[in-house]
């Protein structure tokens, strides 16, 4: 959605570039207000399906309807159509992603096992991205179909597979009941959580690491068309190489976290992201093979962000020890919100490009192209370097987490049963 829809609406559907950028920015920001409400509701939910599974089920029809309205739009739609259905899809995405990540947090109390759980969650995430990114090049190269067919195929991918995968998850994965001695969190606790040092550090890093790929994602097709002069079909193949590297390297990050700790492994992944971005800028693309290698380097750090989700689960244990309150939903609502802010800030790059006279179809002067390069390369590099520096100050490591579990009388060697009978 972030890579293809902005270009599609500004190009094929004829909406002004600045209007598209503002829609992706402000609808995302407005939607952030929904996160604390949703997180608090999840913490207080008690049902036969559990606290979090029920919300994943409810998210499916919302996302399917929004996917239909966004991806199947025809020429003639106006900015209001984009605003309305972006709002709906973001609400559905909040429900689904927050339910998934909070659900994963309660599957095991073990410090290292959580890295593996979120590692596999990220593997599924990247695999889905790869499968959907295969659709445009297959349709373009194999059936000579245009951009419209590729975008609509992505919509059908979501509409058809979402109910199947949600049903599979709910059928095969159980959810433990919340302990009776842990008090349910209140909605008003959302903002107080931000002031806790451990939580504040994690959400700052998540904001920065969400901003970086948000910028590269939303400007990707423009950069490779205008700066690297790569045809759109090859650009999609290169993006596929980026995510394939992220898929393959996922186990490296959770394996490294087991050796040096999650926060240090995350700092290493941030540095690798910087190296990859600079390589994309500096290395010429004389052939598709060289370009794929460079994109693989850039994508190798993509799955490193999974460690933040595992670290927030550890922060939830620290919070339960100190307050006796279970804030799993609200804590992951914070991460959902910071991710949204990061991608919303990325949408402002369209506004900047509009101000400097950038044109999607080409014919841009040196100033417009310079600003495109500054935002595509410079923003992710700076954000990633700051994120790597901030996370090194994280103090909730494996030793400290073990002490917390002992105080909570939880045995990390006996993880909560994950698979339903």
Residue 47, domain CATH: 1.20.1250.20
Put simply, whether the predicted model's pTM sits higher than 0.95 gets the answer no
pLDDT at 203 over 90: yes
Helix/strand/coil for 97: helix
pLDDT digits (tens, 9 = 90+) for 404-417: 999 988 766 544 44
**How high is the pLDDT of residue 233?**
75
Q: Where are the beta strands (DSSP E) in 56-108?
A: none
| Cα–Cα distance measured from residue 390 to residue 402, given in angstroms and rounded to the nearest whole number | 23
**Residue 414 domain-assigned?**
no
What gap in Å lies between CA 376 and CA 215, rounded to an integer? 6
Dist CA 171 CA 394 (whole Å): 37
Would residue 333 be called left, alpha or beta, if left means φ above 0 and alpha means ψ between -120 and 50 degrees? alpha
Displacement of CA 79 from its chain's centroid (Å): 25
Residue 11: half-sphere exposure toward Cβ, Cα within 13 Å: 15
Name the DSSP letter for residue 327.
-
* Alpha-carbon gap, residue 365 to 357, rounded angstroms: 8
Task: With beta carbons less than 8 A apart as the criterion, state whether 28 and 68 touch.
Answer: no
8 A C-beta contact, residue 202 and residue 335: yes
Q: Does residue 12 sit within a domain? A: yes
Question: Considering only CA atoms, which of 205, 164, 202, 182 is closest in space to residue 106?
Answer: 182
Which pLDDT band, with edges at 50, 70 and 90, does 337 fall under?
confident
Do residues 159 and 290 make contact, with C-beta atoms less than 8 angstroms apart?
no
417, part of any domain = no
Collapsing DSSP to helix, strand or coil, 331 comes out as helix
With a cut of 90, say whether residue 54 has pLDDT above it.
yes
Instruction: Give the CA angle between residues 361, 213, 166 to the nearest 5°.
Output: 105
Judge whether 64 lies within some domain: yes
Q: 289 CB contacts (<8 Å, ≥6 apart)? A: none
In contact, 396 and 198? CB cutoff 8 Å: yes
Q: How far apart are CA 112 and CA 115, in angstroms?
A: 5
Tell me whether residue 418 is in a domain: no
Q: Helices (H) and strands (E) in the chain — how many of each?
A: 19, 2
Specify if 218 maps to a domain.
yes
Residue 421 has pLDDT above 60, yes or no: no
Q: Is the pLDDT confidence value at 232 over 90?
A: no
Which pLDDT band holds residue 39 (cuts at 50, 70, 90)? Answer: confident
Residues forming beta bridges with residue 183, ordered by sequence position: 325
Burial 184-217 (b: 16+ CB within 10 A, else e): ebeeebbeebeebebbebbbbbbbbbbbbbbbbb
**Helix (H), strand (E) at residue 323:** helix 306-323
Tell me, yes or no, whether 421 lies in a domain: no
H/E stretch holding 112: helix 111-133
Judged against a pLDDT cut of 50, whether residue 114 lies above it is answered with yes
- Is 264 inside a domain boundary? yes
**CB-based contact 27:83 (threshold 8 Å):** yes
Q: What is the mean pLDDT of the chain?
A: 87
Question: How many other CB atoms are there within 10 angstroms of residue 267's CB atom?
Answer: 23
Domain that holds residue 117: 5-407
Beta strands in 167-297 (DSSP E): 183-184
Alpha-carbon span 298 to 277, nearest angstrom: 6
* Average pLDDT rounded to a whole number, residues 273-292: 91
Q: How many domains does the chain have?
A: 1
φ, ψ of residue 173 to 5 degrees: the values are -115, 125
Say which residues have a Cβ less than 8 Å from residue 303's Cβ, sequence separation at least 6.
119, 122, 123, 126, 246, 247, 249, 250, 253, 269
pLDDT of residue 180: 57
Q: Residues 205, 372: contact at Cβ < 8 Å? A: no
Whether the pLDDT of residue 418 is over 50: the answer is no
Residues ≥6 apart with Cβ < 8 Å to 227: 369, 372, 373, 376
């Amino acid at each position: 959605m972030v890579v293809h829809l902005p270009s599609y609406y500004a190009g094929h559907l004829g909406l002004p570039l600045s209007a598209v950028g503002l829609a992706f920015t402000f609808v995302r920001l407005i939607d952030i207000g929904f996160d604390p409400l949703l997180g608090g509701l999840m913490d207080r939910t008690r049902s036969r399906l559990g606290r979090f599974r029920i919300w994943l089920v409810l998210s499916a029809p919302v996302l399917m309807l929004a996917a239909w309205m966004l991806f199947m739009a025809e020429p003639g739609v106006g900015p209001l159509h984009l605003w309305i259905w972006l709002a709906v899809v973001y609400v559905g995405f909040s429900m689904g992603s927050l339910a998934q990540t909070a659900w994963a947090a309660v599957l095991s109390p073990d410090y290292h096992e959580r890295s593996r759980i979120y590692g596999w969650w990220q593997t599924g995430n990247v695999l889905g991205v790869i499968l959907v990114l295969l659709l445009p090049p297959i349709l373009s190269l194999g059936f000579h179909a245009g951009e419209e067919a590729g975008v609509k195929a992505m919509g059908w991918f979501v509409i058809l597979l979402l109910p199947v995968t949600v049903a599979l998850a709910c059928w095969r994965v159980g959810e433990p009941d919340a302990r009776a001695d842990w008090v349910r969190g209140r909605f008003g606790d959302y903002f107080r959580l931000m002031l806790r040092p451990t939580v504040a550090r994690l959400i700052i890093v998540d904001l920065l690491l969400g901003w970086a790929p948000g910028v590269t994602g939303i400007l990707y097709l423009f950069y490779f068309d205008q700066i690297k002069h790569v045809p759109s079909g090859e650009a999609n193949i290169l993006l596929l190489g980026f995510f394939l590297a992220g898929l393959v390297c996922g186990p490296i990050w959770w394996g490294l976290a087991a050796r040096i700790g999650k926060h240090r492994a995350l700092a290493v992944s941030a540095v690798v992201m910087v190296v990859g971005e600079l390589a994309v800028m500096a290395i010429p693309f004389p052939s598709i093979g060289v370009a794929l290698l460079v994109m693989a380097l850039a994508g190798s750090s993509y799955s490193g962000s999974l460690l933040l989700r595992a670290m927030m689960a550890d922060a939830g244990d620290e919070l339960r020890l100190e307050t006796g309150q279970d804030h799993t939903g609200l804590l992951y609502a914070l991460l959902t919100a910071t991710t949204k802010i990061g991608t919303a800030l990325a949408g402002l790059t369209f506004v900047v490009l509009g101000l400097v006279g950038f044109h999607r179809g080409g014919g841009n002067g040196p100033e417009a192209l310079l600003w495109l390069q500054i935002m595509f390369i410079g923003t992710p590099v700076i954000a990633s370097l700051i994120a790597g520096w901030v996370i090194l100050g994280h103090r909730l490591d494996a030793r400290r987490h073990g002490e917390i579990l002992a105080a909570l009388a939880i045995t990390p060697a006996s993880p909560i049963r994950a698979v339903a009978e």
